[in-house]
């Protein structure tokens, strides 16, 4: 990789920094002892090519003719020139990457400063200002994310730290009493037994929450915290209990705030109408949400909408996972957090807008797929969803349909259940 | 690739019994010790050959938690086969089979072939449900039965393929009306072209998309 000659470095001054930055990063160190310079000089002659060129043939073979020697020399020089060109290109690319990174870090740093010093102290007056909304759209810096989310989610439920501690203590009590209840409820199959069993289920699911991060699994640093938050919630809302998908929401919150704050944000977040509808698995209300989504789907992407219809691909197939986990399972975590940022700003509407953004982003590929491929694609999105690409697609989604906004469409459908198809047809 | 038939399968059973792992082993021939949680439904597809005919399996892998039952119920529609899975190391997953079966029978078409699967057969030392119990349950309820291990791949191919064989036999016997898509069977383009006699002279029907 590092095949610069001294002269090469000198002729490309800015690239030196890049090279050194990389070396420092790799722990090579940047002390430039004379000896190292010599080595660098030697290294510049690309080893792979010098090894191929035999200046003189071994003594037991006839010597090269002049033409042949010249030809070899020329070929060799071409190879070196090409190698140089490639090095130059790579150096430029690295310099560009480095500059972009610096720029990004600078803008995040500046944004964090703005959030900390200007916006957060004046939250209630500034939160709906044009400037803050614009800054918000670009993503909240990770260092202030937890605070912004907390302020945006609020605490309408007035949950105190004491209440959290009470719920937590109750959950721990139940957990230690679990072995006996498990036996007595094994055969009843009643819904009560299932709620009791939900404490068992939490254990099972924690290890299946962001398994690749390795921080929530048994022995990981956040295993107990996640267990506490979910367990306390089942005691706080026994009527809702633990429902799969919750562990992802709690996990994302844990990554951005402390345990008690997580619990408060978690309970308040789940208390929002859309989340309540889904987590209580109120099927008819969920279908109303899907129907409202389809109104905007048809409005924004009529061709794709028709293609989905003709393949009997209903929105429940992909929306259930997306809405339950607020995109934290289907999207890369950093991108999911950006979605959460704007979800905290705009509310449930943004979840459906994001879905339409995703469909627009992949419209071309989806148009050429049949049922099973669409279903597989949308329930397992590509590993690298481009962040800026997705957000520019979301930005173009129009959330007004025949001069009706999302809430109006949803309310109209709620009042007129006739228009919501009772059972999705597959 | 063209196929003669497309069968829709649904995988059901308690959460954590290994439904997604069975599917992954069948479609990708690999095992993921810590699999993601399934929320809602996920999908798999694979082509198999029975009696020299290409059959495409379209598999719906559902969430197992009790709370999601009302959602899962809508996915039985149009399934030709169901894999009902329990975990041989967790007795409660075996105890819940009756309610799963009631659900399946009530919301699917009456000809749906159900394969009962006792998964995690590699964990012999932690076994809580005897193989004979699984066999007895299957016999009593008219199901096919197998113990599998998604981890070692033992019997996984067989479970999916034997279910398809049973469906295929039912087609041959004329039990399934293959022209009614509610039965979970579609006639593929290959079949319609090469063997129109079985399609009962109405073989003009095409399945959506003929590739795997």
**What per-residue confidence (pLDDT) applies to A34?**
45
Closest CA to B78 of B33, B109, B51, B46: B109
**All residues at 6 or more sequence positions from B61 whose CB lies less than 8 Å from its CB, including other chains:** B11, B19, B20, B23, B38, B41, B42, B43, B44
* Chain A residues lying within 8 Å of B41, measured CB to CB: 317, 320, 379
Is B210 domain-assigned? no
**What per-residue confidence (pLDDT) applies to B210?**
38
Chain B residues bordering chain A (beta-carbon distance below 8 Å):
15-16, 34-37, 39-45, 58, 63, 65-68, 70-71, 74-75, 77-78, 91-92, 95-96, 99, 208-209, 211
The encoded tokens of residue A203 equal 């254990």
Is B203 domain-assigned? no
Question: Could A189 and B74 be called an inter-chain contact, meaning their C-beta atoms sit closer than 8 Å?
Answer: no
SS3 (DSSP) at A372: helix
**What per-residue confidence (pLDDT) applies to A316?**
97
Instruction: Tell me how far apart the alpha carbons of residues A401 and A356 are, in angstroms, rounded to a whole number.
Output: 14
Burial label, A283 (beta-carbon count in 10 A; 0-12, 13-18, 19+): middle
Q: Which residues of chain A have pLDDT under 50?
A: 1-44, 180-190, 192, 423-426
Instruction: Tell me how far apart the alpha carbons of residues A216 and A251 are, in angstroms, rounded to a whole number.
Output: 8
Closest residue in chain B to residue A307, using alpha carbons only:
B208
Is B60 domain-assigned? yes
Selecting from A241, A283, A379 the residue whose C-beta is nearest the C-beta of B42 gives: A379
Number of Cβ within a 10 Å radius of residue A111: 19
Question: Could A211 and B34 be called an inter-chain contact, meaning their C-beta atoms sit closer than 8 Å?
Answer: yes
Q: A161-269 has which CATH code?
A: 1.10.8.270
Burial label, B179 (beta-carbon count in 10 A; 0-12, 13-18, 19+): middle
Question: Could B16 and A325 be called an inter-chain contact, meaning their C-beta atoms sit closer than 8 Å?
Answer: no
**What per-residue confidence (pLDDT) applies to A64?**
80
Closest CA to B11 of B47, B59, B68: B59
Is B129 domain-assigned? yes
* Chain B residues lying within 8 Å of A201, measured CB to CB: 15-16, 65
Q: Is the CB of residue B84 less than 8 Å from the CB of residue B54?
A: no
> How near does any CA of chain B get to the CA of A314, in Å?
11
Which 247-266 residues of chain A touch chain B by CB within 8 A? 247-248
Range of the domain at B56: 5-190
Closest CA to A249 of A223, A229, A273: A229
How are beta strands B53-62 and B81-87 bridged, if at all? unpaired
CATH 1.10.472.80 is right for the domain spanning A277-415 = yes
Q: Per residue in B17-38, is it b (16+ CB within 10 Å) or e — as a string?
A: bbbbbbbbbbbeeebeeebbbb
> How near does any CA of chain A get to the CA of B41, in Å?
6
Question: Could B39 and A380 be called an inter-chain contact, meaning their C-beta atoms sit closer than 8 Å?
Answer: no
The encoded tokens of residue A198 equal 């939900």
Closest residue in chain A to residue B32, using alpha carbons only:
A211
Instruction: Tell me how far apart the alpha carbons of residues A329 and B202 are, in angstroms, rounded to a whole number.
Output: 44
CATH value at residue B103 = 3.40.50.300
Backbone angles phi, psi at B44, to 5 degrees: -145, 160
**What per-residue confidence (pLDDT) applies to A195?**
53
Terminal Cα-to-Cα distance of chain B (whole angstroms): 6
The structural domains of chain A, with segments of one domain joined by +, span 92-152, 161-269, 277-415
Selecting from A182, A321, A380 the residue whose C-beta is nearest the C-beta of B40 gives: A321
Is B61 domain-assigned? yes
Q: Is the CB of residue A241 less than 8 Å from the CB of residue A195?
A: yes
Selecting from A205, A245, A372 the residue whose C-beta is nearest the C-beta of B43 gives: A372
Closest CA to A352 of A253, A278, A243, A245: A278
Q: Which residues of chain B have pLDDT under 50?
A: 193-212
Q: A92-152 has which CATH code?
A: 1.10.10.750
The residue of B7, B39, B188 whose CB has the most chain A CBs within 10 angstroms, and thus the best one to mutate to test that interface, is B39
Per-residue CA distances from B208 to A81, A313, B50 (Å): 55, 12, 21
**What per-residue confidence (pLDDT) applies to A54?**
57
Give B187's strand partners.
Answer: B5
Number of Cβ within a 10 Å radius of residue B73: 17
pTM surpassing 0.95? no
Question: Could B71 and A325 be called an inter-chain contact, meaning their C-beta atoms sit closer than 8 Å?
Answer: no
The residue of A196, A372, A383 whose CB has the most chain B CBs within 10 angstroms, and thus the best one to mutate to test that interface, is A372
**What per-residue confidence (pLDDT) applies to A174?**
83
* Chain A residues lying within 8 Å of B37, measured CB to CB: 205, 208-209, 244-245, 247-248, 329
Q: Where does A58-212 have alpha helices with state H? A: 66-114, 123-126, 130-137, 142-153, 161-176, 178-185, 191-206
């Amino acid at each position: 990789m590092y095949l610069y000659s001294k002269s090469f470095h000198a002729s490309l001054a800015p690239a030196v920094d890049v090279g050194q930055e990389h070396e420092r990063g790799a722990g090579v160190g940047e002390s430039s002892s004379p000896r190292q310079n010599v080595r660098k000089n030697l290294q510049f002659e690309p080893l792979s090519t010098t090894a191929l060129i035999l200046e003189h043939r071994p003594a037991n073979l006839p010597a090269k003719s002049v033409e042949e020697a010249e030809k070899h020399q020329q070929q060799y020089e071409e190879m070196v020139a090409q190698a140089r060109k490639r090095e130059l290109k790579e150096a430029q690319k690295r310099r560009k990457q480095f500059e972009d990174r610096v720029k990004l870090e600078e803008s995040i740093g500046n944004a964090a400063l703005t959030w900390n010093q200007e916006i957060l102290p004046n939250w209630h007056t500034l939160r709906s200002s044009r400037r803050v909304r614009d800054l918000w759209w670009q993503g909240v810096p990770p260092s202030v994310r937890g605070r912004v989310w907390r302020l945006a989610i609020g605490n309408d439920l007035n949950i105190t730290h004491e209440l959290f501690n009470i719920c937590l203590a109750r959950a721990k009590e139940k957990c230690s009493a679990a072995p006996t209840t498990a036996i007595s409820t094994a055969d009843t199959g009643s819904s009560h037994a299932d709620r009791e069993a939900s404490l068992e289920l939490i254990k099972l699911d924690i290890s299946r929450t962001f398994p690749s991060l390795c921080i929530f699994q048994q022995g990981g640093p956040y295993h107990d915290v996640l267990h506490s938050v979910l367990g306390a919630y089942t005691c706080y809302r026994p009527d809702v209990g633990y429902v799969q998908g919750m562990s992802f929401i709690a996990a994302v919150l844990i990554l951005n705030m402390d345990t008690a704050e997580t619990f408060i944000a978690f309970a308040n977040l789940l208390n929002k109408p859309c989340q309540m509808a889904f987590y209580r698995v109120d099927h008819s209300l969920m279908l109303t949400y899907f129907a409202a989504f389809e109104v905007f789907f048809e409005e924004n992407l009529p061709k794709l909408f028709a293609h989905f219809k003709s393949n009997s691909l209903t929105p429940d197939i992909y929306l259930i996972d997306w809405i339950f986990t607020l995109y934290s399972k289907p999207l890369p975590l950093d991108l999911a957090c950006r979605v959460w940022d704007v979800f905290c700003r705009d509310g449930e509407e943004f979840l459906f807008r994001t879905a339409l953004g995703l469909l627009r982003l992949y419209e071309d590929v989806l148009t050429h797929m049949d049922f099973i491929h669409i279903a597989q694609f949308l329930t397992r999105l590509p590993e690298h969803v481009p962040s800026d690409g997705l957000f520019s697609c979301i930005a173009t989604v129009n959330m007004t349909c025949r001069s009706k906004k999302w809430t109006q469409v949803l309310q109209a459908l709620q009042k007129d259940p006739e228009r919501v198809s009772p059972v999705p047809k597959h | 690739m063209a196929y003669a038939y497309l069968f829709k399968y649904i995988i059901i059973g308690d959460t954590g019994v290994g439904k997604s792992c069975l599917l992954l082993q069948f479609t990708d021939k690999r095992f993921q010790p810590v699999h993601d949680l399934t929320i809602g439904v996920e999908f798999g597809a694979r082509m198999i050959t029975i009696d020299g005919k290409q059959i495409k399996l379209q598999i719906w892998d559902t969430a197992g938690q009790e709370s999601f039952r009302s959602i899962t119920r809508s996915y039985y529609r149009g399934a030709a086969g169901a894999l009902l899975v329990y975990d041989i190391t967790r007795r409660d997953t075996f105890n819940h089979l009756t309610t799963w079966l009631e659900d399946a029978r009530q919301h699917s078409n009456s000809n749906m072939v159900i394969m009962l699967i006792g998964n995690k057969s590699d964990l012999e030392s932690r076994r809580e449900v005897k193989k004979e119990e699984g066999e007895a349950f299957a016999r009593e309820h008219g199901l096919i039965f197998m113990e599998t291990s998604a981890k070692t791949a033992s019997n996984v191919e067989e479970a999916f393929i034997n279910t398809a064989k049973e469906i295929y036999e039912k087609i041959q016997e004329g039990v399934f009306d293959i022209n009614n898509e509610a039965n979970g069977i579609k006639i593929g383009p290959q079949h319609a072209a090469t063997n129109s006699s079985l399609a009962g002279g109405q073989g003009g029907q095409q399945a959506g998309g003929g590739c795997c």
